[in-house]
Amino acid sequence: MERYTKEQRIIIVKTHYKYGERYAETVRKLRGIFGRRNAPYQSTVKRMLKKFEETGSIMDSKLPVRHRTGRSLDNFAAASETVAESPETSLRHRSQQLDIPRSTMQRILTKDLHLHVYKIQLNQELYPTDHVHRREFVNCVLENQKWKAIFRRNLSLAMRRTFNLMGT
């Protein structure tokens, strides 16, 4: 459902008081103004008028914003200090040291400090003979592919001859 604009809410309140404060009559008149599909229901008119009479305002009250303490400046500073001191410390240990939840520590590191987790991969050391061995392996694979292609072609020719001789 769409919310009504400030002007539409004013029209709803004025129409209600203009036509004798009867909800059914108000809804009927609003159908002529807003159209059949966009007119408010009787319950909507009741709720809007109740709020108007209680608060004197037709606008929605602002919801309180939840204060998030996890990513505070203190936690941000503490996290950046520990990263500078020991960058190899794991996320789990760092969050335990600072007594900050792991998820909050992850948000601080990724969103505030722009640090991302990575894993060091160890590669095998290359020796001078490795190049020769790799070339031999590639040549062997290519040779096998040639033989496989020749074998498949000969097999298909043999099958054709066999089936032609049998009359199928």
Please list, residue by residue across 32-57, b when 16 or more beta carbons sit within 10 angstroms of its beta carbon and e when fewer do.
eeeeeeebbeeebbeebbebbeeeee
Cα–Cα distance list, 141 to 41, 131, 136, 146, 151 (Å)? 76, 16, 9, 9, 15
22, amino acid identity: R
- Give me the residues of the chain with pLDDT under 50, please: 1
Mean pLDDT of the chain: 83
pLDDT at residue number 1: 46
**Please, which residues have CB within 8 angstroms of residue 71's CB and are 6 or more apart in sequence?**
104, 107, 108, 111, 112
pLDDT digits (tens, 9 = 90+) for 35-60: 888 888 999 889 988 988 888 888 88
Show me where the domains of the chain are located.
6-55, 73-112, 130-168
pLDDT at residue number 145: 80
